[in-house]
Amino acid sequence: AQSVAQPEDQVNVAEGNPLTVKCTYSVSGNPYLFWYVQYPNRGLQFLLKYITGDNLVKGSYGFEAEFNKSQTSFHLKKPSALVSDSALYFCAVGGGSSNTGKLIFGQGTTLQVKP
Amino acid sequence: NAGVTQTPKFRVLKTGQSMTLLCAQDMNHEYMYWYRQDPGMGLRLIHYSVGEGTTAKGEVPDGYNVSRLKKQNFLLGLESAAPSQTSVYFCASSPGVSITDTQYFGPGTRLTVL
């Protein structure tokens, strides 16, 4: 069965510092991995995805994520955090035995960037 | 393009009442999904549809029904609402060309069942 875990409920970082939001997954077969962001009282917005190829994926708003097959991880990163990056971040996994584009979401990590 | 829209934005029901949530997309997407979001649990798939006239159960389908009579619309029904169905409901759609397609989300419906 597919699963995804976000081990941190909240990540706190100072503005200008690098940030990392962690995600690990479990899927049989090739995984397809996504990051979404949710701002307060809004729907989820797509940030980036890994399908195949280069392990470092670049996405919207300066975010990037690194796919690590041996560690079954897909951590979200940004070199310099902004206060406006404060939001709820979701990792999701698809693929494996699924053939309908269904995604399994992690429980979410709240990112708090302080001035 | 409006993208994915949801109606209503907020609703309060009493236990046992029924209601229908409407999701509409103007991107000509084949696949549509209904999720619920609860604190600390992420998003869980309720039902989904891979095309007009087709629906399938997701992870948490009990207590909900869906219909996809038109390609652009996906309706989620609660026949007899229960307090456990208090949640934020999100609709999403994807092109349906590939299983790696990105899903696009609506703004959500906040439902409270008293």
How far is it, in rounded angstroms, from Cα A1 to Cα A26?
8
Residue A6 has pLDDT above 80, yes or no: yes
pLDDT digits (tens, 9 = 90+) for A11-65: 999 999 999 999 999 988 888 999 999 998 888 999 999 998 889 999 999 999 9
pLDDT band at B92 (very low <50, low <70, confident <90, very high): very high
User: What amino acid occupies position A77?
Assistant: K
A67 CB within 8 Å of a chain B CB: no
- In terms of Cβ atoms closer than 10 Å to its own Cβ (0-12, 13-18, 19+), residue B80 is exposed
Residue A97 has pLDDT above 70, yes or no: no
So what's the pLDDT on residue A96?
63
User: What amino acid occupies position B54?
Assistant: T
A107–B106 CB contact, under 8 Å: no
Spacing of C-alpha B20 from chain mean position = 10
Radius of gyration of chain A (CA): 14
So what's the pLDDT on residue B40?
84
B103–A46 CB contact, under 8 Å: yes
Identify which of A77, A78, A105, A103 has the alpha carbon closest to the alpha carbon of residue A91. A105
How far is it, in rounded angstroms, from Cα B3 to Cα B98?
19
A44–B98 CB contact, under 8 Å: no
pLDDT digits (tens, 9 = 90+) for B6-30: 999 999 999 999 999 999 999 999 9
Judging contacts by C-beta atoms under 8 Å, the chain A residues touching residue B21 are: none
